[in-house]
Structure 1
Amino acid sequence: MSKVVIITGGSSGIGKSIGEFLQDKGYTVYGTSRNPEKVQNSKIPLVALDVRDSESIYKAIGEVIAKSGRIDVLINNAGVGITGPIEEIPTDEMRNNFETNFFGPIEVMKAVLPQMRSQKSGLIINITSIAGYMGLPYRGIYSASKGALELVTEALRMETKQFGIEITNIAPGDFATNIAAGRYHAPVIKGSAYEKVYGNTLAEMNTHVDSGSNPIEMAQAVYVIINTPKPKIHYKVGAFMQKFSVILKRTLPDKVYEKMLMNHYKL
């Protein structure tokens, strides 16, 4: 019997690539989308789910269980970007980012855990970000939401190990997806103290995404993890320097690392 996989945010970008790859490998895959009826030519079945809406989460999970009888793998992929000087990002936009990138994935995990516990098995993969390992200028809120999910995963792994459930993180670097189009960009305010530097940084960030790695690399990494009996706590997927930046963060003195980042962002 093929494993049943559900992927939040499965209609585009990394989630879509993972879903199609796993389906081709013989898995029973369900993707989710806030508006599946608007998605054309999806190769995997899509279930309506909004990670900011608990009712839609539990309804979607119930639908998958009713159709397939079990959930073997949850891939928490749905997320949104946010950029801007922290001083100028509206607080409501910060809260919205955490609702999608942090509280949403937790609510989805809470919805699948009873089923996995009854099966005495299950795997949860949280898609975080290499940005979650460091406070990046003009991406501080995004870094914070993804870093928070990394830490929650560490805690939840220990709480659920007794039930035969495995939980892990995959932190991608920059991938060529449509995430930049869906990001909340704080506007570059004319006359702002941050106008010039933030404007330049924003343009550079979008260039990095456009020239990022192929999302198929994430799909391949997920496939390997699903077939690993005891997954590691953290995985990182992306360009060498992006992954190496995490090692540098751990080894360099704080101010040296900060200076390196500021030079990179031309601050």
Structure 2
Amino acid sequence: MNETQKTIVLITGGSSGLGKSIGVYLIKKGFVVYGTSRNPDRFKDFKDFTLLKLDVADNSSIQSAVSFIEEKHGRLDILINNAGAGITGPIEEIPEEEIVRNFTTNYFGPINVTKAVLPLMRKQKKGLIINVTSIAGYMGLPYRGIYSASKGALEITTEAWRMELKAFNINMTNVAPGDFATNIAAGRYHAPVLENSPYKKTYGDSLQLMNDHVDAGDNPLQMAEAVYKIIKSKNPKIHYKVGAFMQKFSIVLKRILPDKVYEKLLMNHYKL
């Protein structure tokens, strides 16, 4: 198959973690893949696929990356909004600018990248947009409340937006991963555990638990395989969840248990 017949994919945040795993997998399946990084020069040895400069907080860089793909290929078949950032801390102690920065990356970023690709997808009369959210977006988790909120907001926005796009033969879906063994914890904003904080012990203990979960997470290949199945699906579902059974089952429990019973389960899990 020559390049004009291959599926063209753009993955935001493709230089490491889940984005890189998805990109490498799709390359092996014969796709043309572009990943993005705020600073591709930091990855001079990166050879898996092409990295474009794109900062989801900068509309001009978004437009430049999309224009580059359009000029080279005349189309973009799939957008995977994968770029995201973790954030932890007692909500009372997280600086407002860090909350705004997190929503800029996890919520406004995917919206703005999607806005940039929609005119092209409308022109070609088809397209698929996959928003990478999180199982944490289905529930308010202690000391991860801002992260839960940003990912939950993207889930809900996708539900609305996909209905608006159906008339243009453009599909949109969510895929919510659980904990995977990636470097996300290293890039996460951690509110410091303050010596005189009323949250010192509970937050400190929870932070260790969160990092342990990531370190013991599933192989990112599982996420890549799930994304490939979504791409091959003729009629993608609204929501997909990928991860350990208990993490996915926690969403079911939230739906069927009384609110306070579910809250008690979470508090027991986080030893609160």
Place the TM-score, normalised by the shorter chain, in its bin: over 0.9
Poorly superposed stretches of 4+, deviation over 3 Å: none
TM-score, normalised by the number of residues in structure 2? 0.98
**Partner residue in 1 for 2:199:** 194
Match of 2:54 among 25, 49, 56: 49
From 212, 217, 222, the counterpart of 2:222? 217
Aligned to 2:212: 207
Matched, 1:106 2:111: yes
Mapped contact 1:11–1:42 kept (Cα < 8 A): no
Secondary structure, in 3 states, of the residue corresponding to 1:87?
helix
Are the aligned partners of 1:83 and 1:138 in contact in 2 as well (CA < 8 Å)?
Answer: yes
* Residue in structure 2 matched with residue 129 of structure 1 by the alignment: 134
Query: C-alpha deviations, 1:60-92, integer Å up to 9, x for none?
Result: 110111111110000000000000000000010
SS at match of 2:107: helix
Gaps of 5+ in 2: none
What is the match of residue 264 of structure 2?
A: 259
Q: Which amino acid aligns with 1:58?
A: Q
> What residue is the counterpart of 1:20 in the other structure?
24
Tell me the SS of whatever aligns to 1:124. strand
Helix, strand or coil: the match of 1:5? strand
Worse-matched range after superposition: 230-239 or 29-38: 29-38
Aligned residues: 267
1:33, 1:49 within 8 Å by CA — same for their partners in 2?
yes
Give secondary structure in 1 for the equivalent of 2:192.
coil
Matches of 1:72 and 1:125 in 2, distance apart?
Answer: 11
User: Which position in structure 2 is the counterpart of 1:61?
Assistant: 66
Q: Among residues 78, 86, 100, which one is paired with 1:81 in the alignment?
A: 86
Distance 1:209 1:36 in 2: 25
- What letter is aligned with 1:51? V
Asked whether the equivalents of residues 85 and 198 of structure 1 are also in contact (C-alpha less than 8 Å), the reply is yes
Q: Offset at 1:41?
A: 2.5
Structure 2 match to 1:93 = 98
| 3-state secondary structure, aligned to 1:113 | helix
Identity %: 68
State the one-letter code of the partner of 1:15. G
- Tell me, yes or no, if the aligned pair for 1:81 and 1:142 is still in contact at 8 Å: yes
1:9 paired to 2:18? no
Amino acid across the alignment from 2:23: G
CA offsets, 1:27-79, max 9 Å, x none?
01100011111112231000000000011001111011111111000000000
Secondary structure in 2 aligned to 1:75? strand
1:144 paired to 2:144: no
State the 1:191 CA deviation: 1.8
- Does the 8 A contact of 1:83 with 1:184 survive in 2? yes
> 2-side partners of 1:43 and 1:68: how far apart?
19
Q: Return the letter of the residue paired with 2:218.
A: S
CA distance in 2, matches of 1:170, 1:95: 23
Query: Aligned equivalents of 1:181 and 1:64: distance in 2?
Result: 31
Q: CA RMSD in A?
A: 0.5
Separation in 2, partners of 1:106, 1:168: 13
Letter paired with 2:175: I
- Spell out, residue by residue over 1:7-44, the C-alpha distance to the aligned partner (whole angstroms, 9 max, x if none): 00000000000001000100011000111111122310
Partner in structure 2 of residue 172 of structure 1: 177
Q: Structure 1 CA distance, aligned partners of 2:54 and 2:79?
A: 13
Per the TM alignment, residue 258 of structure 1 is displaced from its structure 2 partner at its CA by: 0.2
Q: 2:75, 2:223 → 1: CA distance?
A: 24
Matched residue, 2:237: 232
The equivalent of 1:158 in structure 2 is 163
Aligned pair 1:247/2:252, yes or no?
A: yes
